[in-house]
Amino acid sequence: MIFLKIFTTELSYHFRQIITWIYLVALLAFIFIMKSVITTGDGVYINNSFHITAVSVIGGMIWLVISANIAGGSAARDAETRMHLLTFTTPVEKRFYLGGKFFAALFMNALLILTLPIGILLSFYLLKSADSELLPFSVLPYLNVYFLILLPLVIIATAFQFALSLITQRSLMSYFASFLLAFLGQILAIATARLFNNWDLVKLLDPVGISGIVGNELQTWTLLEKNTRLIRLEGMFLWNRMLWICLAGGIFMLSYYRFQFATIKRPTWFEFRKKISVSSVIHSGIISTSAIKVPTATPDFSLTSKFLQTLKIAKASFNRIARNLFGFSLVALAAIVPAFFGKNILSNFGIPVLPTTPQVVDFLSPPLGSIDSPYVIIPLLILFFTGDLIWRDRDANSNDLIDATPISNWILFLGKFLGIIWVIFAWMLILMLGGSFMQIALDYYHFQIGLYLKVLFGIQLVNYVLFALLSMFIHILANNKSLGYLCVLLAFILISFHDALGVHHHLLVFASDPGWEYSDMRGFGNTIFPWLCFKIYWAAWAVLLAVVAILFWPRGRLNFKDRIQLAKRQFSKAILKISIIGMCLLLLSAGFIFYNTNMLNKYVTQEDILNHKAEYELKYGKYRNTLQPQLSGTDLQIELYPEKRKADIKATYTLTNKDSVEIDSIHFGSFSEFELQNVEFEKSAKAVIEDRELNYYVFQLKHALRPGDSIKFSFEVHYKSVGFQNSNNRSLVEKNATHFTNLDLLPLTGYQPNYEIKDFQSRKEHQLPYRPELPSLYDERARRKPILADQNNFKVTLGTSKNEVAVAPGNLKKTWEKGGRNYFQFETDAPLRGEYSIFSGDYEVIKTKWKEVDIRLYYDPRHTLNIDRMIKSTKSALEFYTKEFGPYPYGHFTIVESPDNGNGMHSEASMVDFGGQFALLNPDVTPEGFNLPYYIMAHEVGHQWWGGAGVTPAYVEGAGVLVEGLSVFSGMQVLEKDYGKGHLEKYIDYLHADYALPHSLASPSLLQADEPFLYYRKAGIAMHTLQEYVGQDKVNSALSQILQKHRNGDLPLVTTLDLYKELETVTPDSLNYLLNDFFLTNTYWRLKTEKVEIEELDTDKWKVILKIDAEKFTVDEEGSEKNIPMQDWIEIGLYQEKNETPSEIYLKNHFITSGKQNIEIIVDKKPSFGGIDPRSLLIDIRVDDNLYFLED
Amino acid sequence: MNQDKILSIRNISKTYAHGVQALHNISLELPMGMYGLLGPNGAGKSTLMRTLATLQDPDEGEISFMGIDVINQKEELRKTLGYLPQEFGLYAKAKAEDLLDYFAVLKGITNKAKRKELTESLLKQTNLWEKRKHKVGGFSGGMKQRFGVAIALLGNPKLLIVDEPTAGLDPAERVRFLNLLSELGENSVVILSTHIVEDVSELCTKMAIINEGEILSEGEPIELVNNLHGRIWRSIIQKNAFDTITNQHSVISTRLLSGKTVVHIYSEANPGSNFEMVTPDLEDVYFSAINGHIGKASLNPAL
């Protein structure tokens, strides 16, 4: 009965709170925004279960962070309002009191979160557009998400929130509980999964489901499954629910038993003794002292005194936060813990990166709104502590005392603001220590203290301080604690997701900026000045917000009307002056920024780009099949002025008619905003179309170009980077950082279908006709179009400033100095195809030779770690490919460091560039290690045969397999040749690793591959497996056949069908199924060694019985699975392990059929482990059960 | 400046959002010295005190203190104000001396040496010196109240507003506290709000009785008592006779005395033989006012 009374009283309290309804509205708003933002794919209905599940999980997260106060309030409100003096003294039993409170909160939360399924259901019907079709209504998905996802979350979260608030007797601690669950839970889950490389662990550990359900489970659903599939309470998910409910129950019980109906701390013995002696003094003193005499201390209201007051309040605020359990501990944790995992954090493709300060600082300094960094805790802590400071006096009920003192509002405001600034300062110091500690832990001692200071105490501090001010402003204006927290959180979410919400201009997103970046070559480049301009602009806003906050500072018990009155009265001359200064600064900086971003430069949104592309297609798509001569020669005169961010280009193109009919008009154009100037044709030609908006030009020749004839035309491009832009302030030409390609500035001939919008949905929105993203392999017409067509004899003269070296593809013919500038002339000795790059920077150069090929490597003098490795790999690869596939066409090979922080390499004809982070990769090159950079270099050299200068496939499905897949395979062979089987196996594991990531099994076949995963990973595995089964020589000879037949780029162009045909000719009939499984269908194996039994027959004779379970199945593009009877040759291996180094005892192919089977082998050594497909040649989602380990 | 009218309150009215009229056209003129504001709980005392302490704005009316417009020059008034609210909390985890030091800075005493001297003296005066290193969260009601006084006394206030200060004090503390206030009253305005009549009668030079947002009576305590002379009658009755008396007379107060009931009634004429005339005290004035026998209307003819 008492329980019921407490329960209903508590519940009705929540119902009467406005904030409860605000939570409800917030959840509904989220649902409706999601509904209108998300577009479903082709074949997925609007009310699909994927949407219902995903929105429920994310909505659950939002509920978790905004409405923690419900449980927190139930647990601690009595103590906070000092009601506990009354309630605790009533004869209510603890279990009824806490039970009533807890279950009321639980019930309230369960009710509140019911908003999600109901809201989602409503959103389908209320936001239904005319042409969208709905699946017939079923209550099942809604019940499913409510009872399996949301209700357990409510139970877990309420228990955590309630317990933490109960223990501390502070309702706000419930937000910390939410924080722990929402962020720490996720981060821990992902970190653990990474550590053990088992993504199932995320499903197990993530309490909320953002990464466990949305990021993991849902990713494995196929298109068709998205419609109706539901989360099932089984496997890891079941364990997850059990684990968290147990944890929640545990912490709840702990808080329950700790709770006592008393709050006054019993004095310790020491205090007790002291108390007695003191109280006697008091009594003796009371009557006898009658007069009071207070020394006169005249209050001082001078400016100095106000300054001292500000400091005092700042100090008190700082101490308040410093003494909070979470004040520094969380940031310290987030700084120190990563230091121990530096090797994993500062790594690329699993290879550690040299922990230079720029690398560490990059990790420590995410943008303010970034939510996938552990440092998201900093804005969240700011949100919490600013609220705490603003509400401190009212929470302590000291506000009347303080408000009646003559302290000015602005001092109270500035004091608290200064306090939080000091705290942020301390946090930055902690981050800096954590970063240095990470470097020390990785045995790296070259600290760039200056960079730490610039980034943490310059950039990050300013961002956080601006956010703190916004947070204080909102808390003051909201004048309601829960509402304040909700609004600040909302502001943070808006800052984080401004791009997704369609707000792109940084003048509109609080505290934002165009971004900055730092690379060793570029430094901060041109990113700091625009950053500063934006920060001045936001600082001006901050001043105005501060003025409003001070005017509305909550003082006394004023109602809204009185507050406005008071604000008016306080609007003094000084405040007016500050406001005017702030306003002027705001307008000036806004004007200056707008002038730069929108007038000096074109302000281009993603939508503008799409519109531009759509217009291009609509206007000029009709020329798609107009015959055009091909580019056969390029002669460039480029003057680079890196300091002025300027380049002048004079170009002459030679075009040759390679078709069999006459061509009478030349089409060309570029996608850069820099227009072509002084276009002149060698023979008489007249401009028919000169579209400077879309940069499309058509010239009519007076005399048509006959087959085999050529024509020259020349033009100029003047590039100049002026001012700054709203985003990406890298210039193409910049001090020690010049890098651009022909696509950036120079025109291409003919209409460019590549420029068309590819995405199906966007095409629909722009009323463009349907076309597949990639033409079908079986589209005969498409098969006539190559990826790259040109056969371009290239010549360039490059001028650059006197400190820099300019680089382009080709032999370096000449260098000279003129007028204080350096000049370089390059010329290729065989035609280039497609893209080429120009670089200029303060490079160090290494020149060497492989046979007749000149190899030149241009690198930043600080980045020497991988130099020798790159050269060695290049030479080895050139040697190997020449032998296996055919000759290298050029007498030159150039490797250049790109000025940016890229972590990979990029290949063009006769030239490869690598990013600043690639240069820092620090692989283990011992036999147990994995020299990935060496492989990558060999892979890029492989592109000289596959893609680039070599084979150029038709632009249809599967083209990526020929370009990337074959380069992967080539690189793997070079890695194996030079570093042995160990390194190769690491690479194969690396290829397989992505299969372990949660994703849908549905996929097209390799022949019709349409995505990078297939191009790189699956094609690499397929080719390597084939090599193991069929033999390296045979496979390589098949590949060299392709090159021999298609090298010159003539029709018919090569496709994956040719690859298949060549492989078929070298593959014995008995293994034909393998080709079929890897290339024609999307086949998976399920191989498992259930048990290995051994029996000693004789000395040195062991009988081994392996119990194998095997299965093979295909999954088509829609996701339907089909079992395939197995009659496959699969390796069985046995190994002996001595001193932790396994050695092979037995490895042979066995004929395996579907189902369980026993395999008997006699060997002469005692095996310690063994199993089926030990080298992971086949595609098996779970490779960890292939081997069985015997116990000794 | 008129010595008698240092603080003048003119036509103050305040109605809360939920419709309760807390103050109704209140006008008072306060001289130097201690001024008692007497009234039952919910009479509007605290609203008036908070309004005087710049923490609340009236809907209408004006207040001035020594030339300061209290409503529009809040910060000016706060420079000479000491305020002890009826109910207040303290930063529980702060040490007494640190917290007093903090308040001293808020009051503008930024000179470190002087501040140390002042806080030390105040802690001694309020008998908290021994407790200066203790956290105020562990203070008893009386200690907290004394600490509040120490805060109020920081910065030599010319206007001291104390709202129901004696509520949590034991008798000895109360005496000492009131002594302290009366001393302060020698050269400043001290406004003491209370519902305990003795607080006022013992100390205040002037007083007002307030109920339901209105001033019922105002003046010097002696004068108010004298005005009532001859109108208060007493009878000692049995419990069962109480209803009869209530019906026939204007009972202002009853009190139990050795099992019998002592009744005071207000009557301008002799109510009869059962009654004897008593010399009125301040308590009679208070109860007469509260029960509507003296107010603005009925007071005037008597004056």
Q: Which of B89, B106, B108 has the CB atom closest to A397's CB atom?
A: B89
The nearest alpha carbon in chain B to A305 belongs to B110
* B108–A295 CB contact, under 8 Å: no
Give the other-Cβ count within 10 Å of A511's Cβ.
27
* pLDDT given for residue A475 in this prediction: 95
* pLDDT given for residue A647 in this prediction: 96
Does the pLDDT value for residue B94 go beyond 70?
yes
A517 HSE (CA, 13 A, CB side): 16
Does the pLDDT value for residue A263 go beyond 80?
no
Give the best residue of B52, B57, B162 to mutate against chain A (max A CB count within 10 A). B57
Calculate the alpha carbon distances from A203 to A148, A209, A234, A247, A766 in Å. 14, 8, 11, 16, 40
* pLDDT given for residue A237 in this prediction: 87
The rounded distance, in Å, linking the Cα atoms of A344 and A809 is 36
A400 touches chain B (CB under 8 A): yes
Beta-sheet pairing, B81-84 with B159-163 = parallel
Q: Is the dihedral of CA A661, A662, A665, A666 positive or negative?
A: positive
The rounded distance, in Å, linking the Cα atoms of A226 and A1009 is 22
Give the best residue of A288, A400, A564 to mutate against chain B (max B CB count within 10 A). A400
The four Cα atoms A416, A422, A423, A429 give a dihedral, to 10 degrees, of 170
Average pLDDT, chain A: 88
Strand partners, A897: A914
Does this model's pTM top 0.95? My answer is no
Q: What is the gyration radius of the CA atoms in chain A, in angstroms?
A: 35
- Give the ranges where A841-946 is alpha helix by DSSP (H): 867-884, 932-942
A189 pLDDT band, cuts 50/70/90, is: confident
Calculate the alpha carbon distances from A619 to A249, A606, A701, B98 in Å. 66, 20, 22, 77
Q: Residues in chain B, how many? A: 303
Does the pLDDT value for residue B298 go beyond 70?
no
Q: Over range A753-770, report the average pLDDT.
A: 86
Name residue, tokens 């089964």.
Answer: A1029
Q: Over range A664-688, report the average pLDDT.
A: 88
Does the pLDDT value for residue A168 go beyond 90?
no
* B107–A304 CB contact, under 8 Å: no
* pLDDT given for residue A124 in this prediction: 86
Both tokens of residue A527? 């990113």
Chain B closest CA to A99's CA: distance in Å? 29
The nearest alpha carbon in chain B to A295 belongs to B118
Tens of pLDDT, residue by residue over A227-241, are 888 888 888 889 999
Q: What is the gyration radius of the CA atoms in chain B, in angstroms?
A: 21
The nearest alpha carbon in chain B to A568 belongs to B72
Which residue type sits at A529? F
- 3-class state of residue A1145 by DSSP: strand
- Helix A2-16 with A94-112: angle, nearest 10 deg: 40
- Within 106-125 of B, beta carbons closer than 8 Å to A belong to 106-111, 114-115, 117-118, 121-122, 125
Determine contact, residues A587/A531, Cβ cutoff 8 Å. Answer: no
Q: Percent of chain A having pLDDT more than 70?
A: 96
Strand partners, B118: none
The rounded distance, in Å, linking the Cα atoms of A251 and A163 is 6
The rounded distance, in Å, linking the Cα atoms of B116 and A326 is 33
A176 pLDDT band, cuts 50/70/90, is: confident
Chain B closest CA to A926's CA: distance in Å? 59
Q: Is the dihedral of CA B8, B13, B17, B18 positive or negative?
A: positive
* pLDDT given for residue A130 in this prediction: 65
* pLDDT given for residue A759 in this prediction: 82
B288 CA to centre of own chain: 18
Determine contact, residues A1083/A1113, Cβ cutoff 8 Å. Answer: yes
Q: Which residues contact A37 (CB under 8 A, 6 or more apart)?
A: A500
* pLDDT given for residue B299 in this prediction: 42
Both tokens of residue A1182? 């779970």
Q: Over range B271-289, report the average pLDDT.
A: 84
A568 touches chain B (CB under 8 A): no
Instruction: Sort A397 into a burial class: Cβ within 10 Å, 0-12 / 13-18 / 19+.
Output: middle
Tens of pLDDT, residue by residue over B100-130, are 999 999 999 999 999 999 999 889 888 889 9
- Identify which of B163, B203, B201 has the alpha carbon closest to the alpha carbon of residue B48: B163
Contacts of A297 in chain B (CB under 8 A): 104, 109, 111, 114-115, 117-118, 154-156
- 3-class state of residue B253 by DSSP: strand
Q: Which of B110, B151, B154 has the CB atom closest to A308's CB atom?
A: B110
Tens of pLDDT, residue by residue over A947-973, are 877 788 888 999 999 999 999 999 999
Q: Which residue has the higher pLDDT, A171 or A916?
A: A916
* B56–A558 CB contact, under 8 Å: yes
Can you tell me the ipTM of this complex?
0.90
Which residue type sits at A391? W
Contacts of B34 in chain A (CB under 8 A): none
Tens of pLDDT, residue by residue over A1123-1140, are 999 999 999 999 998 777
* A396–B91 CB contact, under 8 Å: yes
Q: Which residue has the higher pLDDT, A997 or A320?
A: A320
Strand partners, A794: A634
Q: Which residue has the higher pLDDT, A797 or A791?
A: A797
B172 touches chain A (CB under 8 A): yes
The rounded distance, in Å, linking the Cα atoms of A828 and A826 is 7
Q: Which residues contact A271 (CB under 8 A, 6 or more apart)?
A: none
- Identify which of A520, A573, A508 has the alpha carbon closest to the alpha carbon of residue A547: A573
Chain B closest CA to A390's CA: distance in Å? 14
Strand partners, A797: A637, A825
Q: Residues in chain A, how many? A: 1192
* A267–B138 CB contact, under 8 Å: yes
Does the pLDDT value for residue B136 go beyond 60?
yes
DSSP assignment letter at A514: S
Tens of pLDDT, residue by residue over A818-842, are 999 999 999 999 888 888 999 999 9
Q: Which of B54, B122, B180 has the CB atom closest to A556's CB atom?
A: B54
A891 pLDDT band, cuts 50/70/90, is: very high
Q: Which residues contact A127 (CB under 8 A, 6 or more apart)?
A: A32, A35, A36
* pLDDT given for residue A1192 in this prediction: 63
Both tokens of residue A1089? 């060694």
Both tokens of residue A449? 């203290």
Determine contact, residues B113/B141, Cβ cutoff 8 Å. Answer: no
Give the other-Cβ count within 10 Å of A696's Cβ.
20
A281 pLDDT band, cuts 50/70/90, is: very low
Question: How many residue pairs from chains A and B have C-beta atoms closer than 8 A?
Answer: 155
A781 touches chain B (CB under 8 A): no
Determine contact, residues A800/A815, Cβ cutoff 8 Å. Answer: no
Give the best residue of B51, B106, B160 to mutate against chain A (max A CB count within 10 A). B106
Q: Percent of chain A having pLDDT more than 90?
A: 56
CA angle B197, B202, B207 (to 5 degrees): 60
Does the pLDDT value for residue A276 go beyond 80?
no
Give me the DSSP letters along A596-648. Answer: IIIIIS----HHHHHHHHHHHHHHHGGGTT---PEEEEEEEEEEEEGGGTEEE
- Within 272-291 of A, beta carbons closer than 8 Å to B belong to 278, 281-283, 285-287, 289-291
- Within 302-321 of A, beta carbons closer than 8 Å to B belong to 304-305, 308-309, 312-313, 316
Give the best residue of A264, A284, A292, A389 to mutate against chain B (max B CB count within 10 A). A292
Contacts of A292 in chain B (CB under 8 A): 125, 153, 179-180, 183-184
* B104–A555 CB contact, under 8 Å: no
The rounded distance, in Å, linking the Cα atoms of A909 and A947 is 8
* pLDDT given for residue A286 in this prediction: 38
Give the sheet arrangement for strand A805-807, strand by strand. Answer: A738-741, A837-841, A805-807
Q: Which residue has the higher pLDDT, A1098 or A116?
A: A116
* A308–B105 CB contact, under 8 Å: yes
Determine contact, residues A913/A826, Cβ cutoff 8 Å. Answer: no
A796: enclosing H helix or E strand? strand A793-801
A47 CA to centre of own chain: 29
* B79–A569 CB contact, under 8 Å: no
Chain B closest CA to A384's CA: distance in Å? 18
Does the pLDDT value for residue A268 go beyond 90?
no
Q: Which residue has the higher pLDDT, B196 or B167?
A: B196
The rounded distance, in Å, linking the Cα atoms of A1071 and A856 is 44
The nearest alpha carbon in chain A to B52 belongs to A404
Tens of pLDDT, residue by residue over A381-419, are 999 899 999 999 988 889 999 999 999 999 999 999 999
Q: Which residue has the higher pLDDT, A996 or A478?
A: A478
* pLDDT given for residue A292 in this prediction: 58
A129 touches chain B (CB under 8 A): no
DSSP assignment letter at B92: T
- Within 453-472 of A, beta carbons closer than 8 Å to B belong to none
* pLDDT given for residue B262 in this prediction: 86
**Phi, psi (deg, nearest 5) at residue A296:** -75, 125
The nearest alpha carbon in chain A to B179 belongs to A290
* A398–B91 CB contact, under 8 Å: yes
Does the pLDDT value for residue B54 go beyond 80?
yes
Q: Which residues contact A643 (CB under 8 A, 6 or more apart)?
A: A735, A801
Q: Which residues contact B180 (CB under 8 A, 6 or more apart)?
A: A292, B125, B149
Q: Over range B150-163, report the average pLDDT.
A: 89
* pLDDT given for residue B295 in this prediction: 63
* pLDDT given for residue A491 in this prediction: 93
Burial track A761-776 (b if 16+ CB lie within 10 A, e otherwise): ebbeebebeeeeebbe
Q: Which of B53, B118, B131 has the CB atom closest to A294's CB atom?
A: B118
Tens of pLDDT, residue by residue over A494-514, are 898 888 888 889 999 999 999
A42 pLDDT band, cuts 50/70/90, is: low
The rounded distance, in Å, linking the Cα atoms of B162 and B159 is 10
Does the pLDDT value for residue A269 go beyond 50?
no
* B110–A265 CB contact, under 8 Å: no
- N-to-C CA span, chain B: 27
